[in-house]
């Protein structure tokens, strides 16, 4: 008994082609549909999904271009932020430099304001004269003989060596009728300095008022060496 298999085979082939088509459609469309939102919360009834392989490819290309555009946007924003940060850094350095030099300028100006003003040569001479001890009168230092009339305190016996030395020096000054030689000028200053040192050692031995008069007298006597006799 022969069995006719041709119609059955043709029917099965048609069924296989139909199943293959369904299977290929699932493989091509489902990934694209899932990416594009076709399989969203609404399932197959809503969302954008490809109905053909070409549409799926178009959706895939659009998604890739969208991702590339987003990346380019992010890169652009990052470049802008970097440029802004660099600009801000430059501005900060500029402000820091300007502040540094402004502070130096202010410091120099403050020092200049606090520094004592310079005086001229003429002002220095006037100042020296104003602080110089008073000159001795003719009764304290005789311009003709060079005789010195010492205050009471300086007539103490402990000062005899210094009085004798000064009497000799000023007598020679008066006899010459002119200013002292350098060696005599230095000798007067040196003797007066020693005189003051010994007087200071005995400061407690004399009344304060008399001690003060003696110091002023010795300062004036030393100053007289700067002037010619007469």
Radius of gyration of the CA atoms of the chain, in A: 59
What's the token pair of residue 33?
Answer: 């549909």
Res 173: pLDDT: 85
Q: Give how far the C-alpha of residue 106 lies from the chain's centroid of Cα atoms, to the nearest Å.
A: 10
Sign of CA dihedral 54, 60, 63, 67: negative
What's the token pair of residue 203?
Answer: 């400061």
213 within 8 A of 151, measured Cβ to Cβ: yes
What tens digit of pLDDT does each residue of 149-168 get? 999 999 999 999 999 999 99
**Per-residue tens of pLDDT for the chain, all 230 residues:** 444 544 445 455 455 555 555 655 555 555 555 555 544 444 444 455 556 767 767 667 777 777 777 777 778 778 778 878 878 888 888 888 888 888 888 888 887 777 666 656 566 555 555 567 888 999 999 988 999 999 999 999 999 999 999 999 999 888 876 666 788 889 999 999 999 999 999 999 999 999 999 999 999 999 988 887 76
Q: Give how far the C-alpha of residue 5 lies from the chain's centroid of Cα atoms, to the nearest Å.
A: 106
What tens digit of pLDDT does each residue of 56-68 get? 676 677 777 777 7
The alpha-helical segments, DSSP class H, found in the chain are 6-36, 53-114, 121-131, 160-176, 182-201, 208-224
Res 217: pLDDT: 95
141 phi/psi in degrees, rounded to 5: -140, 110
120 phi/psi in degrees, rounded to 5: -75, 170
All residues at 6 or more sequence positions from 25 whose CB lies less than 8 Å from its CB, including other chains: none
3-state secondary structure of 49: coil
Beta-bridge partner residues of 141: 148
Res 96: pLDDT: 83
Res 221: pLDDT: 93
């Amino acid at each position: 008994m022969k069995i006719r298999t041709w119609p059955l085979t043709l029917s099965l082939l048609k069924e296989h082609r139909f199943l293959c088509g369904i299977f290929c459609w699932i493989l091509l469309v489902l990934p694209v549909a899932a990416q594009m939102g076709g399989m969203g919360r609404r399932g197959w009834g809503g969302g954008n999904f490809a109905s053909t392989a070409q549409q799926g490819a178009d959706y895939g290309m659009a998604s890739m271009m969208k991702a590339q555009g987003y990346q380019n946007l992010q890169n652009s924003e990052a470049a802008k932020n970097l440029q802004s940060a660099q600009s801000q850094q430059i501005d900060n350095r500029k402000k820091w430099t300007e502040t540094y030099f402004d502070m130096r300028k202010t410091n120099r100006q403050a020092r200049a304001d606090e520094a004592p003003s310079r005086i001229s040569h003429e002002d220095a001479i006037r100042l020296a004269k104003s602080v110089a001890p008073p000159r001795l009168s003719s009764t304290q230092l005789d311009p003709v003989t060079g005789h010195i009339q010492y205050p009471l305190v300086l007539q103490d016996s402990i000062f005899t060596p210094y009085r004798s030395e000064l009497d000799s020096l000023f007598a020679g000054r008066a006899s010459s009728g002119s200013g002292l030689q350098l060696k005599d000028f230095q000798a007067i200053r040196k003797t007066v300095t020693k005189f003051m040192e010994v007087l200071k050692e005995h400061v407690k031995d004399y009344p304060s008022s008399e001690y003060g008069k003696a110091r002023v007298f010795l300062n004036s006597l030393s100053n007289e060496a700067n002037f010619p006799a007469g």
